[in-house]
């Protein structure tokens, strides 16, 4: 299933992220695709707010992964925020032990998912983001409850 939307402000993009966050279950991975400036981090900030992450959420471009404490469906759960922009290849994910995160009890948010090759779990949710104008983004959601 697929759902296509257009947001017209950063606040709308964050609100869509919050909607997505509230639909998640433990162990899910959301793969984010899109060019620089397409709103991936903005949407993840809204998602993390819905999951009660207290920390300021930024893209972990230089660290590859940030871990946040969050709450999902009334339970404390880790939120793993990956940024694969500087990834040299999918084998780097294996070297990082990413599978332990991908198949763990938390939620994984993966920016620049196209750089993971075939390393991401089959059936994960996908968010495709496109810059349309100054504040306008076209967003395609695939998989999970939010795609109904």
pLDDT tens digits for range 38-64: 999 999 999 999 999 998 888 876 778
- Burial (CB < 10 A; 0-12, 13-18, 19+), residue 103, is exposed
Task: Give the residue numbers spanning the domain of 80.
Answer: 2-147
Count: domains in the chain: 1
State pTM to two decimals: 0.92
CATH, residue 122: 3.40.50.300
Give the side-chain half-sphere CA count within 13 A for 60: 17
Mapped onto helix, strand or coil, the DSSP state of residue 30 is strand
The total number of residues shown for the chain amounts to: 148
Q: What is the dihedral of CA 1, 31, 73, 9, to 10 degrees?
A: -90
pLDDT tens by residue, 77-98: 999 999 999 888 888 888 888 8
């Amino acid at each position: 299933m697929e759902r296509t939307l257009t947001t017209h402000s950063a606040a709308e993009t964050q609100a869509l992220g919050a909607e997505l966050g509230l639909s998640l279950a433990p162990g899910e991975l959301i793969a984010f695709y899109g060019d620089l400036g397409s709103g991936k981090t903005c949407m993840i900030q809204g998602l993390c707010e819905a999951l009660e992450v207290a920390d300021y959420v930024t893209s972990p471009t230089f660290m590859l992964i940030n871990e946040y404490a969050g709450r999902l469906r009334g339970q404390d759960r880790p939120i793993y925020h990956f940024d694969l922009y500087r990834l040299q290849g999918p084998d780097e994910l294996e070297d990082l032990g990413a599978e332990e995160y991908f198949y763990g009890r938390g939620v994984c948010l993966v920016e620049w998912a196209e750089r993971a090759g075939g390393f991401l779990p089959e059936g994960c949710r996908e968010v495709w983001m496109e810059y349309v104008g100054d504040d306008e983004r076209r967003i395609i959601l695939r998989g999970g409850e939010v795609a109904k």
